[in-house]
Amino acid sequence: MIWGEMMKSKRLIIVGLIVSILLIFSGCGTEKNTETTNDQSITDYYIESLSVNGLSRSQKKEYLSRDDIYAVGNNIAVSKAEVQQYTDFYLNNGESEENAQKLAEKDAMERNALYVAAIQNGYEVTEEDIDDWLKELRTMLENDTTGAYQSAMEGFESEDAYWEYEYEVYRVDLPIQNYVSSLQIDTNVSADSENGNSDTDAFSELKQRLADEQDFKLTNL
């Protein structure tokens, strides 16, 4: 879905960051959307629940019983806070409540599934990796002339708060970005002259396949 479109290549990510990240993650609302009711960040759910070798039956049962969990897959649990963040974004952009919920669920599950695949394939990142990426991003955004960067700042108490939030975002998205970029190089996820598939089609298929493999089960919502 939307957040994933910027993952197609590093070049497209750079170009799309001004629109995609600022409007989706920052533009979903305000700084408070980065947290859940118990002050656990959305990113923390990824780190906490991820099991590279698979969640045990007892772990799945425990997550399915929790009020803060939306769905549980074979390797990871999706938080209600993340689904709500996506839902708010779609509602703010004119979608009906029903459609916003469906799109949000799909986005959250696909992002979680991509993160699982990224870590399983060795694309963990260090604090230094994230800091280096954010320095590059910050330089680009400071030269932005569209006004999107300044608009994003309005949702945060300060510029520092914004970048603290982006750090949390990239704890998850940088491994995904590196993983997807490697697939584009190694498996030729690009325009195919024989079947007419575009890289967007291939990426959509990848996200859907990985989400299907997680076999997500919804909690008692």
The answer as to whether 183 is a domain residue is: yes
CA distance 33 to 185: 35
The pair of structure tokens assigned to 11 is: 């070049």
What is the full DSSP assignment across 90-152?
HHHTT--HHHHHHHHHHHHHHHHHHHHHHHHTT----HHHHHHHHHHHHHHHHT--SSHHHHH
At 75 the pLDDT is 98
Asked whether residue 129 is assigned to any structural domain, the reply reads yes
Local confidence band at 62 (pLDDT 50, 70, 90 cut-offs)? very high
Domain contains 131? yes
Instruction: Order the strands of the 69-72 sheet from edge to edge.
Output: 77-79, 69-72, 217-218
Is residue 157 in some structural domain? yes
What's the structural domain count of the chain?
1
Q: Residues, the chain, total?
A: 221
Q: Which of 160, 133, 146, 165 lies closest to 30, judged by CA?
A: 165
Distance of CA 155 to the CA centre of its chain: 19
For residue 66, count other CB atoms closer than 10 A to its CB.
14
Displacement of CA 181 from its chain's centroid (Å) = 15
pLDDT (0 to 100) of residue 183: 84
Vertex 15: Cα angle to 14 and 16 (nearest 5): 95
The pLDDT tens digits of the residues spanning 109-140 come to 999 999 999 999 999 999 999 999 999 888 88
State both tokens at 141.
Answer: 């955004």
Residue that the structure tokens 């994003």 belong to: 152
- Helix, strand or coil for residue 60? helix
Domain that holds residue 30: 2-215
Is residue 221 in a domain?
no
* Phi, psi of 8, deg, nearest 5: -65, -30
* DSSP H/E element including 79: strand 77-79
Q: What is the pLDDT of residues 70-117, one digit of tens each?
A: 999 999 999 999 999 999 989 988 999 999 999 999 999 999 999 999
Residue 220 lies in a domain: no
pLDDT band, residue 17 (cuts 50/70/90) = very low
- 185-220 pLDDT per residue, tens: 443 444 444 544 455 678 889 999 999 999 999 997
Quote the CA–CA distance of 114 and 108 in Å, as a whole number: 10
Mean pLDDT confidence for 19-40: 45
* Residue 221: per-residue pLDDT: 64
Nearest in space to 21 (alpha carbons), one of 31, 6, 43 = 6
